[in-house]
Structure 1
Amino acid sequence: MSHTLESIAKLAGVSRGTVSRVVNNQQGVKPDVRDRVIKIIKETGYHPNAQARSLAGGKTENIGVVVFGNEANFLTHHIFYEVLQGIQNKVVQNQYDLLIFANRSERDHEYWKRIGDKRKVDGLIVMGENIREEYLLYYYEKKLPFVLVGKRHFHQVPLFCATSDYRNGAYEATKHLIEQGRRNIAFVRGYPDTYHEGEKLAGYQRALKEADLPLDFSLIIDGQARQEIARTQINNALGQGTLIDGIFAGNDLMAFGVIEALRDRGLVVPRDVSVVGYDDIQAAAYYNPKLTTVRQDKQALGERATELLLKLMRNELTEQEAGFDIMVDNQIMIRESSVVQ
């Protein structure tokens, strides 16, 4: 027999509302009544419907992840799957299940609302380049706790974020190039209007300033976070006679494109130009030459984001504490692509 709130209430000799309060761990039930209802639930093997519980103000025991990205195949993205592994580690440790909300087609512009409406999750981890404030405001108004992976600057809603220390990572990368004797150092950045690329630019500028090197805006090159675009842009810059002896790329894929462009021009890495990437994806250590890069601890990023979300779900954080983000340290991995012999 498949039991319902009504059948459990009948067996326990109480109202449906009393059973609902017991199931959702709410107050207002006498201890002996609560014990009797719990005993019957265990004997019958009754499992409350998760969606019904959530709509009634209870818990689903699910944590969700949604990625608002530029491409639908985000599951294969070199950063996402490592962050997801960190999320999964903490979700399992805390006896939750994980739900992934996939990007929908462009014709379905309202799917992000249903994440908040259907309440299949108790909390949400939000990632991606295309996060809009209206999404987060909607979840906030629906009282759905959420945490962002990566910092954003929005004004209508309190934000809790877990982010890498992009500024210091870029500083260490540029400083390393300077220590190799490089003086004409290009910064190939990803999406220029994002928080993380702004932080990387600030770190790059800081290292140049400390070394008394001028900031040359012709050496700030937009690679749009893509390998082929970075390759084309560096080819164009070199073709116009731009002097470059060191390159810091905002991600490893762009660094690969940069090295390909240098080869197109007959230049040798690192003899002629030293190259440093960012992220330390798995291919970086096996590339030719092996890529010097800033290791972003992506699993730790997922773990810290989940820990932050769990605190929100337990009401251990207040809105006044928003903005004090969890910062995950980075580490520069020095390999062949940057070290001048």
Structure 2
Amino acid sequence: MAHTLESIAKLAGVSRGTVSRVINGQPGVREEVRKKVLAVIREHQYQPNMQARGLAGGKTENIGVVVFGLTSSFLSHHIFYEVIQGIQEHVASRAYDLLLFADRRPYDREYWRTIADKRKIDGLIVMGEDIQDEYLQYYYDKQLPFVLVGKRLASDIPLHCVTSDYRDGVNNAVTHLIAGGRKRILYISGYSGTYHESKRYEGYCDAHRQAGLPVDSRLTVAGDAEEQSAYEVVRQLLRDGEAFDAIFAANDIMALGAVKALQEHGLRVPEEIAVVGYDDIAAARYANPSLSTVRQDKSGLGEAAARMLLSRLSGELDPTTSHDIYIANKLIVRSSS
């Protein structure tokens, strides 16, 4: 026999509402009654309907993760799966389960609403390059607690964000290149118009200003966060005779594409042109030459996001005030610089 709230209530000699309050850990139940209900639940191995609990406003003990990516292959990107690992480790230690929501927008453009409407989760962690303001406004209006991995700006609602300290990380990388005698440093940007891209560029400018060097706009090019794009733009600059003695690329994939273009042009890395990337992907240490890079603590981003969301759910964090957590980066110097 599959038990229900009603049958458990009858066996325990209490009301259905009392059983619901015990299951959801809510106040208003005497301790002896709570123990009696829990004993009946254990004896009959009753498993609450988690979706029904969520719809009723109770706890589901589920944390959701959704990634709104720019391409269909976004989940294969190392950043997302390492962040998700950090999230999983923290929520599991707090007896929560993790639900990964598919991004169905190519097939159902309104699916992002369903995540909040179904309420199978107590809170949501949102990642990706294609997060729209209307998504966040909708989750806020639906009173679904959420945390963003990556900084977003919004004037109408408070946001809770966990992000890498991009500005400081790039400042350290470019300062390292300048300390090595490099004066004309090519900057290869990733996704334009994003918060983290603007902060990376600010770090690039900071390092030049601190060293008393001018920022040459001709040395800023778009790599579109892709290896092939960075390869092609560097190859074209070399053909055009543009002079530079170092490259900073906003991710490691682009840095590897740049190195390939330099080597095909007969240039030695780092003797003639030094290269530094960003992220510290697994391939960076095995490249030839091994790639200097700025290491993001991706698992730390996930853990911090999960910790922030659980603080919101427990009432420790004010939901009406924006909160930001910045995770420090580390410069990893290898053979390419």
TMscore range, shorter length: over 0.9
- Tell me if the contact between 1:86 and 1:298 (Cα under 8 Å) persists in the aligned partners: yes
Residue 320 of structure 1 deviates from its aligned partner by 4.7
Q: Tell which deviates more after alignment, 97-106 or 52-61.
A: 97-106
Q: Deviations over 1:259-311 (max 9, x none)?
A: 11112322111111100000000110000000000011111111111111110
1:119 matched to 2:119: yes
Matches within 5 A, 1:142-161: 142-161=142-161
> Which 5+ residue runs of structure 2 have no aligned equivalent?
none
Instruction: Determine the C-alpha separation between the residues in 2 that align with 1:9 and 1:305.
Output: 38
Q: Which residue of structure 1 lines up, in the alignment, with residue 334 of structure 2?
A: 335
Q: What is the TM-score with the length of structure 1 in the denominator?
A: 0.95
Residue 39 of structure 1 deviates from its aligned partner by 2.3
Q: Which residue of structure 1 lines up, in the alignment, with residue 134 of structure 2?
A: 134
- Tell me if the contact between 2:312 and 2:319 (Cα under 8 Å) persists in the aligned partners: no
- Tell me if the contact between 2:105 and 2:111 (Cα under 8 Å) persists in the aligned partners: no
What count of residue pairs does the alignment treat as equivalent? 337
Matches within 5 A, 1:1-341: 1-323=1-323, 325-338=324-337
Residue 105 of structure 1 deviates from its aligned partner by 4.8
Instruction: Determine the C-alpha separation between the residues in 1 that align with 2:25 and 2:94.
Output: 18
Counterpart of 2:78 in 1: which secondary structure? coil
- Tell me if the contact between 1:186 and 1:246 (Cα under 8 Å) persists in the aligned partners: yes
Cα distance change, pair 105–132 in 1 and its aligned pair in 2 (3 A):
closer
Instruction: Determine the C-alpha separation between the residues in 1 that align with 2:74 and 2:106.
Output: 15
- Tell me if the contact between 1:290 and 1:336 (Cα under 8 Å) persists in the aligned partners: yes
- Tell me if the contact between 2:105 and 2:112 (Cα under 8 Å) persists in the aligned partners: no
Q: Deviations over 1:82-140 (max 9, x none)?
A: 11111111011111111111222513111111111111111111100001111111111
Residue 70 of structure 1 deviates from its aligned partner by 1.2
Counterpart of 1:86 in 2: which secondary structure? helix
Q: Deviations over 1:31-79 (max 9, x none)?
A: 4433332221122111110000111111111111100001222332111
Amino acid at match of 1:331: K
Counterpart of 1:153 in 2: which secondary structure? coil
Counterpart of 1:319 in 2: which secondary structure? coil
Q: Deviations over 1:187-229 (max 9, x none)?
A: 1010121111111100100111111111111111111100000
- Tell me if the contact between 1:63 and 1:121 (Cα under 8 Å) persists in the aligned partners: yes
Amino acid at match of 1:127: M
- Tell me if the contact between 2:277 and 2:294 (Cα under 8 Å) persists in the aligned partners: yes
Cα distance change, pair 320–144 in 1 and its aligned pair in 2 (3 A):
closer
Compute the RMSD of aligned alpha carbons. Answer: 1.3
Q: What is the TM-score with the length of structure 2 in the denominator?
A: 0.97
- Tell me if the contact between 2:279 and 2:295 (Cα under 8 Å) persists in the aligned partners: yes
Structure 1 vs Structure 2: percent identity of aligned residues? Answer: 56
Instruction: Determine the C-alpha separation between the residues in 1 that align with 2:51 and 2:229.
Output: 45
- Tell me if the contact between 1:72 and 1:102 (Cα under 8 Å) persists in the aligned partners: no
Counterpart of 1:72 in 2: which secondary structure? coil
Residue 27 of structure 1 deviates from its aligned partner by 3.0
> Which 5+ residue runs of structure 1 have no aligned equivalent?
none
Amino acid at match of 1:266: G
